């Protein structure tokens, strides 16, 4: 490479710190879509996770395994599914959601939900059942009981949220297929990186990669700090 690594990195940092409008449009598409998808799925997923951990109902075993499976499906397959639903000929074609942020949000919800359900289910399973039973026998309402359990599980539940969020913020397959990578509309960080790399313009790809890197460092160090306070008790 005749551009050299340092020069590229310099250009990338320049783009970031000069608040290049292209870069920030891409970053804001990424965040608004992923936050929306996470926001809509969060509560229903956690409730389902709680029910799977605490409830006993027919089909529970099946649902649990189905969700584990969905977690490992590549995002392009989910993208393909959503694409086929939203295309002109598809069952939801009349919504005209293909190549819009709404379509991307729908796809990301389907990617994020299984992660949230599975990880919150694991968290709720790990909790001492007595915390729940005690609060209930002490006269706590259903809702208060859940709140007590959730407080116990602050760290693992946050980890579930971070895992779900990073999966959708970083996925490229579904966003590319369903969003279509339209500049300023559906172009997010991963699809922009794919495009810049295919053009051979690495500086902007690196700038965007840095945004993701910094974000995941911040998220994980914050989690680390929270976890630090929750060391196993020694007594």
Binding footprint of other proteins on the chain (CB under 8 A): 1-3, 87-88, 98-99, 176, 180-183, 185, 187, 191-192, 195, 198-201
Rank residues 133 and 201 by Cβ distance to other proteins and give the closer one: 201
Nearest-approach distance from CB 233 to other proteins, in angstroms = 53
Rank residues 86 and 115 by Cβ distance to other proteins and give the closer one: 86
Give the burial class of 55: count Cβ atoms within 10 A of its Cβ; 0-12 exposed, 13-18 middle, 19 or more buried. exposed
Nearest-approach distance from CB 148 to other proteins, in angstroms = 49
Rank residues 103 and 145 by Cβ distance to other proteins and give the closer one: 103
Rank residues 40 and 211 by Cβ distance to other proteins and give the closer one: 211
Nearest-approach distance from CB 170 to other proteins, in angstroms = 18
Secondary structure letter of residue 93 according to DSSP: G
Nearest-approach distance from CB 31 to other proteins, in angstroms = 19
Nearest-approach distance from CB 197 to other proteins, in angstroms = 9
Nearest-approach distance from CB 131 to other proteins, in angstroms = 51
Q: At what angle do helices 202-229 and 5-17 cross, to 10 degrees?
A: 70
B/e letters for 80-92, b = 16+ CB within 10 Å, e = fewer, are bbbbebbeeeeee
Kindly list the distances between the CA atom of residue 224 and the CA atoms of 132, 146, 199, in Å, as whole numbers in the listed order: 26, 25, 38
Rank residues 128 and 201 by Cβ distance to other proteins and give the closer one: 201
Closest CA to 29 of 214, 208, 198: 208
Rank residues 2 and 18 by Cβ distance to other proteins and give the closer one: 2
Residues 6+ apart with CB under 8 A from 126: 153, 156
Give the burial class of 75: count Cβ atoms within 10 A of its Cβ; 0-12 exposed, 13-18 middle, 19 or more buried. buried
Secondary structure (3-state) at 234 = coil
Strand (E) positions, the chain? Answer: none
């Amino acid at each position: 490479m005749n551009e050299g690594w340092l020069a590229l990195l310099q250009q990338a940092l320049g783009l970031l710190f000069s608040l290049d409008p292209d870069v920030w449009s891409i970053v804001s598409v990424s965040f608004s879509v992923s936050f929306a998808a996470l926001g809509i799925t969060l509560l229903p997923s956690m409730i389902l996770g709680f029910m799977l951990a605490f409830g006993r109902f027919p089909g529970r075993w099946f649902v649990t395994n189905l969700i584990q499976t969905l977690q490992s499906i590549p995002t392009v397959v989910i993208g393909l599914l959503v694409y086929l639903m939203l295309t002109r000929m598809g069952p939801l074609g009349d919504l005209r959601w293909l190549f819009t942020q709404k379509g991307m949000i729908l796809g990301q919800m389907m990617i994020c939900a299984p992660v949230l359900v599975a990880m919150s289910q694991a968290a709720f399973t790990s909790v001492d059942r007595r915390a729940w039973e005690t609060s209930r026998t002490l006269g706590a309402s259903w809702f208060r009981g859940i709140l007590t359990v959730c407080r116990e599980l602050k760290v693992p539940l946050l980890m579930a949220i971070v895992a779900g969020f990073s999966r959708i913020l970083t996925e490229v397959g579904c966003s590319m297929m369903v969003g279509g990578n339209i500049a300023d509309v559906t172009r997010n960080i991963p699809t922009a990186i794919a495009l810049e790399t295919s053009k051979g313009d690495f500086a902007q790809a690196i700038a965007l990669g840095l945004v993701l890197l910094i974000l995941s460092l911040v998220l994980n160090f914050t989690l680390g700090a929270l976890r630090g306070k929750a060391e196993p008790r020694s007594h």
